[in-house]
C-alpha cells in the first residue's frame, strides 16, 4: 500500500516555520524561534564559510579525471582523489563500499545525438543546436512526467570524436570493463546522538565524453564542501552526518544499491558492544545532490536553449510522491525550503513531487528522501532543458559564475537545513 494522501495539512504547518532542531525521538521537530542576533546563529556562521571560490576549486579538481566513467582507471583515480580530499578536510574516518558490477554486453545500437561527422574534424560545441533540436509538444517523447510546451531531444553521447577538445578526448579514451567497483564515504560523529545520522550524497561517476562538471561534479563538490565545513575543529553536531560519493549512478544507481544492501541491516547497531561506536547510525534522512547548476529555461520552438540563466532560476527540492515515505519526505523537503528561504543568498528554492532517477530512490521507501537539483527531474531535465546533460558540452568552459552560484546556493540550502536538523554549534555556541 503506497501513501499518496494527507500532504496538505502537514505542509501548511511545516512550510511556514523557520527553524528546526532534532527532537528527542527523531527528526523534524520545529524549534522555538530563537531570540538572538545573526552573529549568534551557528547556521549563519557555517553558511558564511561556503564561498564561490572554494566550491569552484573543488569542482575544477574533479575535472582532471574526465567524465569519471565507472569501470575505468579515471574513475578509480577519482575515487582515490576524493578520499584524499575528504581526509585533508578532517573527515578522516573514510570507508569504502566494495561491490561487483558485471553487466551483460551492450547492444551496439545507433549512436545518438553526437553531432559527429565521419571523415572530418568534429564540429565545435554549439549551445544553440545542442542535442538534435525539436521533438514536439506535449510529452510525445521519452522521459519523466508530462511535459507541456516544446521539448528537445536527450540522450547519452558515446562517440569520442564528438568531443572537440583533444585533451578531454584523451582523458576519456578508456572504455569500462566489468569487475570490482568501490565508492567512498566519511562521517561526522554526533556528540549526543552518534547512533543516528543524515546521509548527504552525490554521484561521482559521469559519462558522455566530457568533464562531468554539472552531472555530477556539481553535486560531488557540494558534498565535499559540506564535509569540509562540518568537520572544522570548532564545529559540533548532536546528530551524525555521513558524506557519501556514490559510484555507478549512471548505470542505474548500482553504487547506492550496494550501499543499501550492505548497510541497511547494520543501522543503529553498537559495535563492539559497549563501545559507544555505531558503524552504521540509524538513517534519519537521505539528501541527494544531482546536477546543481543549469537552469536556462525551456527549449524554444526550434529546440534551441538559451545560453543565459533564466530569471526564474531556482533550487528544486524533490520528494517522490508514490514512495512509501512520501509524506515524511515531503516534510523534509519543506524543512529544506524553509532553510533556503532564510539562508540562500541569491536564489529561492521550490518543492516538487518527482524525485526519481537518482541515488536517493534506493532510500525512498526506507527513510525520508529528497533530492536537490537545478531543474525538475521529469518536466525539465526529461524535457530537454539541459543541453549539457550527458553530452560533450558538460565541460568547465560551458558554465558561467551564474551557474556556479546556483550550485553554491544549493549548498547553502543543504548546509543550513542539516545544521538545524543536527543541532550544529560553532565554538561551543
Minimal distance, residue 57 CB to Zn ion, in Å? 21
Distance from C-alpha of 78 to C-alpha of 204, rounded to nearest angstrom: 8
| Residue 194 or 255 with smaller CB distance to Zn ion | 255
User: Is the distance from CB of 223 to CB of 203 less than 8 angstroms?
Assistant: no
| Residue 215 or 328 with smaller CB distance to Zn ion | 215
Distance from C-alpha of 312 to C-alpha of 305, rounded to nearest angstrom: 15
Distance from C-alpha of 26 to C-alpha of 270, rounded to nearest angstrom: 18
Other CB atoms within 10 A of residue 251 CB? 17
User: Is the distance from CB of 87 to CB of 185 less than 8 angstroms?
Assistant: no
Distance from C-alpha of 244 to C-alpha of 251, rounded to nearest angstrom: 17
| Residue 290 or 328 with smaller CB distance to Zn ion | 290
Distance from C-alpha of 129 to C-alpha of 52, rounded to nearest angstrom: 30
Minimal distance, residue 91 CB to Zn ion, in Å? 23
Minimal distance, residue 290 CB to Zn ion, in Å? 4
| Residue 246 or 278 with smaller CB distance to Zn ion | 246
Instruction: Using alpha carbons, select from 289, 323, 342 the residue that is nearest to residue 38.
Output: 342
| Residue 216 or 236 with smaller CB distance to Zn ion | 216
Minimal distance, residue 25 CB to Zn ion, in Å? 34
Alpha helices in 195-325 (DSSP H): 218-230, 254-263
Minimal distance, residue 181 CB to Zn ion, in Å? 17
Minimal distance, residue 332 CB to Zn ion, in Å? 21
Other CB atoms within 10 A of residue 206 CB? 29
| Residue 83 or 290 with smaller CB distance to Zn ion | 290
- Compute the Cα dihedral for 6, 9, 15, 19 and give only its sign: negative
Alpha helices in 17-117 (DSSP H): 42-48, 52-62, 73-88
| Residue 237 or 360 with smaller CB distance to Zn ion | 360
Minimal distance, residue 110 CB to Zn ion, in Å? 23
Contacts with Zn ion by CB under 5 A lie at 215-216, 290
Beta bridge partners of 196: 282
User: Is the distance from CB of 192 to CB of 22 less than 8 angstroms?
Assistant: no
Minimal distance, residue 214 CB to Zn ion, in Å? 9
| Residue 328 or 374 with smaller CB distance to Zn ion | 374
Amino acid at each position: 500500500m503506497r501513501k499518496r494522501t494527507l500532504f496538505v495539512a502537514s505542509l501548511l504547518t511545516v512550510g511556514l516555520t523557520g527553524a528546526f532542531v532534532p527532537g528527542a525521538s527523531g527528526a523534524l521537530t520545529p524549534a522555538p524561534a530563537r531570540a538572538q542576533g545573526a552573529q549568534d546563529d551557528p547556521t549563519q556562521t557555517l553558511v558564511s564559510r561556503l564561498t564561490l571560490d572554494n566550491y569552484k576549486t573543488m569542482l575544477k579538481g574533479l575535472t582532471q579525471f574526465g567524465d569519471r566513467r565507472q569501470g575505468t582507471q579515471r574513475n578509480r583515480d577519482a575515487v582515490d582523489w576524493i578520499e584524499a580530499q575528504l581526509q585533508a578536510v578532517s573527515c578522516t574516518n573514510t570507508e569504502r563500499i566494495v561491490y561487483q558490477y558485471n553487466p551483460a554486453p551492450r547492444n551496439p545500437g545507433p549512436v545518438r545525438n553526437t553531432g559527429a561527422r565521419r571523415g572530418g574534424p568534429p564540429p565545435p560545441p554549439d549551445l544553440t543546436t545542442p542535442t538534435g533540436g525539436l521533438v514536439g509538444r506535449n510529452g510525445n517523447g521519452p522521459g519523466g512526467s508530462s511535459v507541456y510546451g516544446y521539448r528537445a531531444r536527450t540522450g547519452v553521447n558515446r562517440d569520442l570524436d564528438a568531443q572537440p577538445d583533444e585533451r578531454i578526448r584523451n582523458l576519456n579514451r578508456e572504455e569500462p570493463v566489468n569487475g570490482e567497483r568501490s565508492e567512498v564515504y566519511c562521517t561526522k560523529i554526533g556528540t549526543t546522538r552518534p547512533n543516528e545520522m543524515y546521509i548527504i550524497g552525490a554521484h561521482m561517476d559521469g559519462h558522455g565524453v566530457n568533464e562531468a562538471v554539472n552531472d555530477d561534479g556539481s553535486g560531488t563538490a557540494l558534498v565535499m564542501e559540506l564535509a569540509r565545513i562540518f568537520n572544522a575543529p570548532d564545529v559540533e553536531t548532536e546528530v551524525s552526518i555521513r558524506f557519501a560519493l556514490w559510484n555507478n549512478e549512471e548505470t542505474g544507481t548500482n553504487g547506492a544499491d550496494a550501499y543499501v544492501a550492505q548497510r541497511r541491516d547494520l543501522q543503529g547497531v553498537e559495535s563492539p558492544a559497549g563501545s559507544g561506536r555505531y558503524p552504521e547510525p540509524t538513517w534519519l534522512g537521505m539528501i541527494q545532490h544531482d546536477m546543481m547548476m543549469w537552469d536556462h529555461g525551456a527549449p524554444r520552438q526550434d529546440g534551441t536553449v538559451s545560453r543565459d540563466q533564466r530569471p526564474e532560476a531556482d533550487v528544486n527540492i524533490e520528494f517522490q510522491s508514490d514512495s512509501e515515505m512520501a509524506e515524511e519526505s515531503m516534510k523534509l523537503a519543506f524543512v529544506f525550503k524553509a532553510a533556503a528561504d532564510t539562508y540562500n543568498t541569491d536564489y529561492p528554492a521550490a518543492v516538487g513531487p518527482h524525485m526519481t532517477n537518482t541515488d536517493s530512490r534506493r532510500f525512498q521507501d526506507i527513510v525520508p528522501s529528497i533530492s536537490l537539483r537545478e531543474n525538475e527531474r521529469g518536466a525539465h531535465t526529461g524535457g530537454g532543458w539541459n543541453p549539457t546533460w550527458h553530452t560533450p558540452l558538460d565541460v568547465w568552459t560551458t558554465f558561467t559564475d551564474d551557474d556556479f552560484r546556483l550550485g553554491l546556493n544549493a549548498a547553502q540550502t543543504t548546509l543550513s537545513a542539516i545544521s538545524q536538523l543536527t543541532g550544529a554549534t560553532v565554538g561551543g555556541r
